[in-house]
Structure 1
């Protein structure tokens, strides 16, 4: 294949899907990925094999899966070709291949020259005991996926230690009755693919959020999201809500666009480079609209056996294995809750238990007082009929976390009296109608206390997160997800 730049682009797409290491695949996957015929796939595979970028072992039979191993990073393959062109003085061709995949050739030339002089990248590794779910802001409910969403996308607002600040929006204001909110948003924000993020992306993302079954109960009071101008969007509500900006700082309210490659693209501090069955790679986003991360890359490696050996019993971020580490604790615990109708005997109920090991263990400890059980996906309450054993992660803002949970809990499925259901809804409405955060907190805590007094909601256990990091990693502070913000990490080189 004579066109080196095009070959690099084909290889980068391949690497992005399958990543390093050995994978099973089919020719039809390649044809769809590259938008070529299956016959042409073999020509491309042969060219990549000749350059020793991949190892390919086909198996006989039309539907048999072949074995693929990507042997080199796409950028390293580019640098090998660039070194050859540099030695020959063919600068125009060198700049051309450095621009593969839409890269800025001038910037990449500086990186290439630094690479040639021996500069090393700062990379952190995250060993993990299961495969990460695709990072769609509206679909993920598990805390690690939601944490990664926070690293790869931006939202209108953000919270840290309970303090609300701007993210894509730099100013917002409500009407006198808090039924109309206007957000002034930053211009010149770029997505990871280099295209401009616009107000249409924000309107579409938030509109889809209000319709998604996971989150409709939290945002059902949103009647419309509108673009007013290039720098102004408006959210219209059918009832007052003084705390909407806090809710829009949550992971599910992230802004994204569907790219031409049929994948989501955001504008967060890190971009997804590889998402295979073996690992997830996040690269620093040099176009990020806030302070740029110091580390170059974070890699999440999946290995199910770690769950059995307890090597991932708690979260870890490392520079290498083995190494000296330190263990940090979190002040924001996971809270395990039991939700039921106290007027129905427990032995007559079918208990929906979240599929996390902690929730399952709690159920097993006390299953003598419960009836039958079903296992549900974490955070998905659609199958609850009688009772629920679930958990709450306070993330970066306990107020919005509790408010979101109480809005999403399926009180209607428990067979509570209409008087109880009406009272719960009236209290949730009152919380939203209270403009003072401290007073709203008092109302929220009063509702929690009432639910516990009536034995509708019972707190079973609190568990703090354990977080292990390399001693050389600085800037580590455990957040409400049980992780540490990746864009605040840096490596002590001393």
Structure 2
């Protein structure tokens, strides 16, 4: 890129004197820039023409002339960055911004927030870490879960706590609830403009069913067949009233059968790198089109503790805006997350239920959650798993002696690092040594040491339809076959099968409430704290409303056009 090369050469020359005027020669400047004297003369002429510096040569070979700088490299880099961004060339802008993370973050601040670029409303979001690949079957982070729902669509989708049709126009099932028919909308298109066919969806759904995750989530599904050019038939082993919910989960979002980066959601993925993720409005989208035509995540990692991994900061409070607008930022949406961080007890010989209950009682009574060295307002201790799902009250085990040693395994977020240290200090006061192990990931997938854990801490994200989300958690998370013996876990799955067959949603939810109530009563699981989600934005960004994952719906956000209204 010629502009970048010219800027780098100019920076080398500027750094030699830190921008001070000087007497120098062509030969000396060529040496500083690692180029020939002929080339430096060409560069000097170009730089003078664009107003970067002035150069007054003296007659005679080797004579010294006067060099005066009119611009700094930082100012020029910022101006070139603005030009590339205004021209809709974010990748070229990133080439210009070859800086350390903290410098890049400072340089990009003026360009964040909502702006109109080439008549295209664009929202730029600074983000603190690189994003994981956007693969619906294997997603864990909140940002990734939110993004896949913008890029991919499923047969159904969640609308707050309801499940509604998406690629399907509607669905019906037979009286025995063992055959479900999903009738597709006509004239659906993938992001590349290719018409979408029911056969492609059937192939992708079969791929999901054959995967380890899909086999657990869709355990009730026997076959998925093409009943008609616009209809898919699901034949079930046994009734499942949660089937439409299951097909709306992130695991059942449907990428293109050949290119997994292509979907048919409201936005299409146009750039994905460690520095920049960009999505643009999908012109063939089958539902109302979003007003924001482009969304960009600018990855500007901050300094972090390498032992805690790249996700050591939990961005539950998002601020969007330019530095000169920071004073105007106001919270536009906030909520307490339904998701929670939890403690689980792996009860077995040497660590019984009474001892597990005593540890959970100590956590509740000691108030250590309120003592965590975490920014004020980030978390809040919980007294229920979901609203109206209260935690149990234990008393009989208050005097149970704890084992001399226990092992704790925990994963991200970083707040659990602070919790682990506090728990270690608390148990030491009761003559129990806690051996702590950190897993630098967002879930327990492929983590083989989990079996050796006595105590487990993790994070349970909850999106829409929270009761169903917890039902899926019991099926999909590897902690449950670890925490429960094989007979107990088999009995749990059988209980879930009975619950899912009930045609009345209120009865299904009550069944799940009783199931988790028993797990908490048995000291198998204990929610610790929730997060306080918040989005702040300047007056120029409208339509921001928090969703259940702590992000805001991109399809509802908008910025006013730059037109003066009299």
Q: Is the CA contact 2:481–2:489 (under 8 Å) kept in the aligned structure 1? A: no
Q: TM-score, normalised by structure 2?
A: 0.63
Mapping 1:8-23, distance limit 5 Å: none
Paired residue for 1:336, among 327, 341, 356? 341
Asked if residue 287 in structure 1 is aligned to residue 294 in structure 2, the reply is no
Residue matched to 2:413: 356
Q: Is the CA contact 1:407–1:428 (under 8 Å) kept in the aligned structure 2? A: no
Mapping 1:203-242, distance limit 5 Å: 203-242=202-241
How far residue 317 of structure 1 moved from its aligned partner, in angstroms, is: 6.0
How far residue 315 of structure 1 moved from its aligned partner, in angstroms, is: 4.4
Distance change in 2, residues 1:175/1:292 (3 Å)? same
Report the Cα distance in structure 1 between the residues aligned to 2:86 and 2:179, rounded to whole angstroms: 48
Q: Is the CA contact 2:345–2:456 (under 8 Å) kept in the aligned structure 1? A: yes
Residue matched to 1:185: 184
How far residue 267 of structure 1 moved from its aligned partner, in angstroms, is: 0.8
Deviations 1:418-458 (A, max 9, x none): 55334322221122111211111100010010000011111
Report the Cα distance in structure 2 between the residues aligned to 1:74 and 1:474, rounded to whole angstroms: 21
Report the Cα distance in structure 2 between the residues aligned to 1:445 and 1:484, rounded to whole angstroms: 29
Q: Is the CA contact 2:444–2:477 (under 8 Å) kept in the aligned structure 1? A: no
Report the Cα distance in structure 1 between the residues aligned to 2:304 and 2:542, rounded to whole angstroms: 27
Report the Cα distance in structure 1 between the residues aligned to 2:525 and 2:313, rounded to whole angstroms: 34
Report the Cα distance in structure 2 between the residues aligned to 1:352 and 1:208, rounded to whole angstroms: 33
How far residue 204 of structure 1 moved from its aligned partner, in angstroms, is: 2.2
Report the Cα distance in structure 1 between the residues aligned to 2:492 and 2:290, rounded to whole angstroms: 43
Report the Cα distance in structure 1 between the residues aligned to 2:150 and 2:84, rounded to whole angstroms: 26
Report the Cα distance in structure 1 between the residues aligned to 2:443 and 2:314, rounded to whole angstroms: 22
How far residue 120 of structure 1 moved from its aligned partner, in angstroms, is: 2.7
Asked if residue 393 in structure 1 is aligned to residue 395 in structure 2, the reply is no
Q: Is the CA contact 1:333–1:465 (under 8 Å) kept in the aligned structure 2? A: no
3-state SS of 2:120 partner: coil
Q: Is the CA contact 2:208–2:252 (under 8 Å) kept in the aligned structure 1? A: yes
How far residue 185 of structure 1 moved from its aligned partner, in angstroms, is: 0.8
Deviations 1:54-74 (A, max 9, x none): xxxxxxxxxxxxxxx999579
The two structures, once aligned, show a CA RMSD in angstroms of 3.1
3-state SS of 1:216 partner: helix
Distance change in 2, residues 1:201/1:352 (3 Å)? farther
Report the Cα distance in structure 1 between the residues aligned to 2:232 and 2:188, rounded to whole angstroms: 15
Is there any run of 5+ residues in structure 1 with no aligned partner, and where?
1-10, 12-20, 23-68, 78-117
Report the Cα distance in structure 2 between the residues aligned to 1:157 and 1:398, rounded to whole angstroms: 16
Paired residue for 1:326, among 302, 324, 330? 330
Residue matched to 1:157: 156
Residue matched to 1:170: 169
How far residue 417 of structure 1 moved from its aligned partner, in angstroms, is: 4.0
Is there any run of 5+ residues in structure 2 with no aligned partner, and where?
2-6, 9-79, 90-116, 306-311, 357-402, 428-433
Report the Cα distance in structure 1 between the residues aligned to 2:144 and 2:88, rounded to whole angstroms: 29
Residue matched to 1:131: 130
Paired residue for 2:439, among 363, 372, 375? 375
Q: TM-score, normalised by structure 1?
A: 0.71
How far residue 206 of structure 1 moved from its aligned partner, in angstroms, is: 1.9
Report the Cα distance in structure 2 between the residues aligned to 1:329 and 1:355, rounded to whole angstroms: 23
Which structure has the larger Rg? 2
Residue matched to 2:534: 466
Distance change in 2, residues 1:431/1:120 (3 Å)? same
Q: Is the CA contact 1:157–1:166 (under 8 Å) kept in the aligned structure 2? A: yes
How far residue 175 of structure 1 moved from its aligned partner, in angstroms, is: 2.5
Paired residue for 1:297, among 294, 297, 302? 294
Distance change in 2, residues 1:162/1:412 (3 Å)? closer
3-state SS of 2:551 partner: coil
Report the Cα distance in structure 2 between the residues aligned to 1:371 and 1:214, rounded to whole angstroms: 31
Q: Is the CA contact 1:228–1:234 (under 8 Å) kept in the aligned structure 2? A: yes
Asked if residue 492 in structure 1 is aligned to residue 560 in structure 2, the reply is yes
Q: Is the CA contact 1:129–1:303 (under 8 Å) kept in the aligned structure 2? A: yes
3-state SS of 1:364 partner: helix
Residue matched to 1:316: 318
Distance change in 2, residues 1:325/1:306 (3 Å)? farther
3-state SS of 2:289 partner: coil
How many residue pairs match? The answer is 388
3-state SS of 2:409 partner: strand
Mapping 1:409-424, distance limit 5 Å: 409-410=477-478, 413-414=481-482, 416-424=484-492
Report the Cα distance in structure 1 between the residues aligned to 2:555 and 2:442, rounded to whole angstroms: 27
Distance change in 2, residues 1:315/1:200 (3 Å)? farther
